[in-house]
Chain A
């Protein structure tokens, strides 16, 4: 079946501009996660959506970062007034979520969006 998809795959922007990154999770997955990966580094948690619950925004690095999710489908991550330190790969993952099914917490990642802020 289709995996997690993300768009665009690459984005180059100028400092100060806003960018929107999109994630399409696996169908039926109630949980969706955004992570940031700086060059040569591990993944850094940003935000987590679970069904209709309030999202866990504890990983967002500043108020320039925000994310939305419509129901249990597409999510967009928005970075306002981009800075050079925002340059990174932004990864989205989804999982079955609250289900007691074995493996419900397993997160499947998309290919990422490579963001370069000049």
Chain B
């Protein structure tokens, strides 16, 4: 089955710097890759997602890149702010059918220091 590895497990940056979180997946059939942000005591919130027919997607300060050949995808946050501090999870799925569930990485705790 699918396996998702996520690095780093913790990341500390200064406010205004960029943050990059990387994930790899094992199943080439995976075609949908969301990123979630989870604040303490809350459920995960979708921040951006990408499908396998595109290589990059941007939404203001957040971007995701996908390399299908290498089976890895990355989250880029520019101009980080203290409110970006949270745990970020990457995930992969085949986007429907009998395997619509998400397989998650173990998470990255991002701390943005003011």
| Interface residues in chain A, defined as those with a beta carbon under 8 Å from any beta carbon in chain B | 4, 31, 33, 35, 41-45, 48, 50, 56, 59, 91, 95, 97-98, 104-112
The answer on a CB contact under 8 Å between A111 and B107 is no
The answer on a CB contact under 8 Å between A111 and B43 is yes
A44 CB contacts on chain B under 8 angstroms: 104
| Interface residues in chain B, defined as those with a beta carbon under 8 Å from any beta carbon in chain A | 6, 32, 34, 36, 42-46, 49, 89, 91, 93, 95-96, 98-107
The answer on a CB contact under 8 Å between B107 and A42 is yes
Complex Cα distance, B93 from A105, in Å, reads: 9
* Those 7 A-B pairs whose CB atoms lie nearest each other, nearest first: A109-B43, A42-B104, A105-B95, A45-B101, A42-B106, A43-B104, A111-B43
Min C-beta distance of B21 to chain A, whole Å: 13
The answer on a CB contact under 8 Å between A109 and B44 is yes
The answer on a CB contact under 8 Å between B34 and A106 is yes
Name the residue on B nearest A100 (C-beta): B96
A107 CB contacts on chain B under 8 angstroms: 34, 46, 102
In the complex, which of the residues B102, B103, B106 has the most CB atoms of chain A within 10 Å of its own CB atom? B102
Provide a sorted-by-A list of 28 A–B residue pairs whose CB atoms are within 8 angstroms: A4-B43, A35-B102, A41-B106, A41-B107, A42-B89, A42-B105, A42-B106, A43-B44, A43-B89, A43-B102, A44-B104, A45-B101, A59-B101, A98-B96, A104-B96, A105-B32, A105-B95, A105-B96, A105-B100, A106-B34, A106-B46, A106-B49, A107-B34, A107-B102, A109-B44, A109-B45, A112-B42, A112-B43
Using known A-B contacts A41-B106, A42-B106, A105-B95, determine if residue A91 contacts B101 with beta carbons closer than 8 Å. Answer: no
Complex Cα distance, B103 from A48, in Å, reads: 13
